[in-house]
Amino acid sequence: MTKDEYRKLVKETASTFLVDCEAADWKKENEEGDFSAFYDHAEYDGGFHSIIDCEFSGVDWQEAIKYLQCTEQNPDHVDSGLYEGCSWKKILVVIAFEAFSWDVREEAERMFDRGDFGQVVKAFPTNQRQLGFYPDHKLYKIPKGPWAQNMCGDGVKILILSRQPIRQQLRIRGANEPELAVVFEGPVSERPSSFVVACRRIYTQGGDDADIKKDLKRCEEEFGVRATRGKARGGAQA
């Protein structure tokens, strides 16, 4: 990644954030509002960090080094509490994530202040850890059960904790990781026996070796999750 490529990525991500969080409409309703007020409004539902997380999903320590070589942020300013106890590879990823988020926020503020509320909408990437659908959405129907958690209307997580006995878990590296953790992110419609999610993306919260395609296949085979037809943009309808 060159510095020019990095700057383009930062600008496109900032633009996507402003469009996704409807900065233009917010400014019309809050003429005296500054960027900080808009950011607080957008981040109330995690809007900013959701965009950063989507872009950064799948970045490993080697890619993290490329981000750190391009950013002008000072890595020493990243709160060490964010990566305390992590491996050195994870530390690099965390620091790069924070530096990238600062770059995007600064660019978004510059755009906002000059009345540019974004035009470019960057598609969410698909990689080993996530399936990206945004700016479109894809409907998924998720049967209810103890494995399905409604994330306050912003998505549904299928979570299965490790089935190994506690004594055996203590001997296994990464035993604190769930056996299965898949998030269907997007607006949720709740029905008597299921959730319907207009997915912006589907991603795994499993370990470093987790593969979203394999995890999604398990969700389909074990828990009856399925893609469904219907109007997906602007709400979860089927």
DSSP 11-32: HHHHHHHHHHTTHHHHHHH-TT
More confident residue, 164 or 56: 56
The answer, yes or no, to whether residue 104 has pLDDT greater than 50, is yes
* Distant-in-sequence, close-in-space partners of 168: CB < 8 Å, separation ≥ 6: none
pLDDT for res 208: 81
Say how far apart CA 139 and CA 122 lie, in whole Å: 20
| pLDDT tens for each residue of 47-103 | 899 999 999 888 999 999 999 999 999 999 999 999 998 899 999 999 999 999 999
pLDDT for res 192: 95
Please report which confidence band the pLDDT of residue 45 belongs to, taking 50, 70 and 90 as the band edges. confident
Average pLDDT, the chain: 89
Say how far apart CA 10 and CA 144 lie, in whole Å: 39
More confident residue, 221 or 234: 221
pLDDT for res 231: 60
Average pLDDT over residues 13-33: 95
| pLDDT tens for each residue of 203-226 | 999 888 899 999 999 999 999 999
The answer, yes or no, to whether residue 35 has pLDDT greater than 50, is yes
Please report which confidence band the pLDDT of residue 229 belongs to, taking 50, 70 and 90 as the band edges. confident
Domain ranges within the chain, ordered by starting residue: 3-113, 130-227
Q: How many CA atoms lie within 13 A of 1 on its CB side?
A: 18
Percentage of the chain beyond pLDDT 70 is: 90
Average pLDDT over residues 182-193: 95
pLDDT for res 237: 52
